[in-house]
Amino acid sequence: MLRTLRRRFVLSHILPLLIVIPLMGIATISLIEKHILTPTLLTELKSNAEVLSRFAADDQEIWQDPIYARRLLSQISGPANGHLMILDSAGSLLASSDSADAELLGTKIDHPGYTSAATGDISMEISSSRNLREDRVEALAPVINQQGKLLGFIKLSYEYSSFFRQLFQLRYLLTGILVVGLILGAGLGIALAINVSKPIQEVTETIDALAKGDRGEGLQETGSEEIRRLSRAVNTLFERLHSLEQARKRLLANLVHEIGRPLGALRMGIEALTYGADRNPEFFKELLAGMDQETARLQELLEDLSHLHEQALGVLELDRVDLDLHSWLPETLAPWHQAAIQNGLIWEMNIPQALPAVMGDPLRLNQVLGNLLSNAIKYTPAGGKIRVEAGQMNASIWLSVSDSGPGIDPEVQEAMFEPFVRGSQGTRFPQGMGLGLSIARELVEAHGGRLQLESETGAGAKFTIWLPLTP
């Protein structure tokens, strides 16, 4: 009977309404009458007395002129069944809101709370009688001026029967609200119980489809906050799985392409050696140089994949030292200078002598610069220019590598930093695993810096490395 989640939701909404709520409603009415409403009414009486005492403390004429005090009370419309008295510091009646107290003016009014009120507290008393309607609840509040002097007292009382009338009115009101709320709550609870299972069922079906390999479409993020968060998490999982699937396909395609070419070249070299290529010294030398170049290409590929593995495991470690850029940069750039000259490129370098030191890993930063310079030299046609600059801006050191090559389309610049992403044919980065820039940015960010790209199609590219200064 309760095997489905929808039925359990319906039952969980109906049972509290039909059983628990009525019982709690009866107990609540009793609790409100005995422990909440009565203390609240007494607190209200006490607050009213306190407000009146503050008002009386600000009007000095009340205590200096009893006639003024009586006239003032006659102008005040007191609450129904309420009785207000103004007493001097000795407890003598100065004025009363009840005209029947005219004979008591100037006489001392007995009250057990004078001692407590004289210390600054408001005294609360209930006077009992044989007739319940004549019972009264009284509040005696001291009137103290700004100098701390006791000027007198404010005595405020209500007939207790007025409290009970409010209690009975509240009882009928709460009972009516309880019945109406029970009916509406039951209907609403059933509707909510039925509807709440629908988005959960959709999420379950989507996850089940993902597990079976059906990509489908994402979920609509509607409903309650919890359901929206659940749908958002499933959509994020869907996007992540889709991204991983695309990355896996690009990785396999790039691996086949990048490994296949050098392996094919090596196989052809071995075949040529097998058929006597070693008998021609000139050809044999060229053949070995080509085979060595292809094995070096495979070695670079393995290094990139190794670094990608470190990224995935989160184990990238840096051997940081105080790096003097003025002495380190020329040594690091020297091989690339020669490579640029051999490719018929113009090499320009502007490295200031007063560059401060940075905390960095020389090998990792060498790898970053090597990647940027290798790309710049590879994709800049003969006669083009390679320019390396460095400088300081605020609390950062910057190193830039710019070229006059084909440039990078602005629409794909950010994507070029993603793993396995390569440019289209005829543009920059048409070959390779698509890992170089991703690894370079990862290494720069590991140093607390950032890698910036500025480029336009046909106008070259400029990569800038920003590194924080040594504190």
CATH number at residue 363: 3.30.565.10
Q: Is residue 204 part of a domain?
A: no
Examine the domain organization and report whether 284 and 409 are in the same domain: no
Same domain for 237 and 372: no
> What's at 46, amino acid-wise?
K
Over range 272-295, report the average pLDDT. Answer: 74
232 and 363 inside one domain: no
Q: How confident is the model at residue 68 (pLDDT cuts 50, 70, 90)?
A: confident
Tell me the per-residue pLDDT of 169-228, one tens digit each, with 9 for 90 and over.
Answer: 766 777 777 777 777 777 776 777 667 667 777 777 777 777 766 666 667 777 667 777
The parent domain of residue 111 ranges over 5-167
Name the residue among 123, 120, 91, 126 with its Cα closest to residue 106.
91
Q: Is 134 among the domain residues?
A: yes
**Strand 385-393 relative to strand 346-350, pairing:** parallel
Does residue 206 fall inside a structural domain? no
Residue 51 has pLDDT above 50, yes or no: yes
Contacts of 433 (CB under 8 A, 6+ apart): 251, 254, 255, 258, 301, 304, 305, 420
Q: Residue 425 has what pLDDT?
A: 40
**25 with 146, same domain?**
yes
- Is 340 a domain residue? yes
Instruction: Say what the pLDDT of residue 426 is.
Output: 42
Residue 328 and residue 287 share a domain: no
Q: Are 85 and 141 in contact (CB under 8 A)?
A: no
The average confidence (pLDDT) of the chain is 76
Is residue 243 assigned to a domain? Answer: yes
- Same domain for 17 and 156, yes or no, is yes
Q: How many domains does the chain have?
A: 3
Instruction: Say if residue 274 is in the same domain as residue 356.
Output: no
pLDDT over 70 at 346, yes or no: yes
Q: Mean pLDDT over residues 9-17, rounded?
A: 68
Q: Work out the pLDDT band at 388, boundaries 50, 70, 90.
A: very high
CATH number at residue 270: 1.10.287.130
Query: 372 and 352 in one domain?
Result: yes
Q: Fill in the amino acid letter for 188.
A: L
Q: What CATH number did the domain enclosing 28 receive? A: 3.30.450.20
**Quick one: average pLDDT of 351-365?**
85
How would residue 429 be classed by pLDDT, with cut points 50, 70 and 90?
very low
pLDDT digits (tens, 9 = 90+) for 407-418: 877 766 666 666
Q: Are residues 375 and 246 in the same domain?
A: no
Tell me what the mean pLDDT of segment 345-361 comes to.
87
Q: Are 309 and 163 members of one domain?
A: no
pTM: 0.42
pLDDT band at 121 (very low <50, low <70, confident <90, very high): confident
Is the pLDDT score of 471 beyond 70? Answer: no
Does the pLDDT value for residue 363 go beyond 50?
Answer: yes
Q: What is the 3-state secondary structure (H, E, C) of 24-65?
A: HHHHHHHHHHHHHHHHHHHHHHHHHHHHHHHHHHHCCHHHHC
Q: What is the pLDDT of residues 300-321, one digit of tens each?
A: 667 666 665 555 545 456 788 8
Report d(CA 145, CA 381) in Å as an integer: 95
Q: Of 98-112, 136-150, 189-203, 346-360, which range is least confident?
A: 189-203
Final residue of a domain: which of 150, 167, 184?
A: 167
Q: Which residue has the higher pLDDT, 52 or 26?
A: 52
Asked whether residue 155 is domain-assigned, the answer is yes
Q: Are residues 334 and 306 in the same domain?
A: no
Residue 184 lies inside a defined structural domain of this protein: no
What confidence tier does 134 reach under pLDDT thresholds 50, 70, 90? Answer: low
349 found inside a domain:
yes
Last residue of a domain, one of 276, 294, 313: 313
Query: Pairing state of beta strands 358-360 and 321-323?
Result: antiparallel
Give the integer Cα–Cα distance in Å for 367 and 441: 11
What local confidence, expressed as pLDDT, does residue 428 receive? 43
21 and 151, same domain (yes or no)? yes
User: Is pLDDT at 385 greater than 70 in this prediction?
Assistant: yes
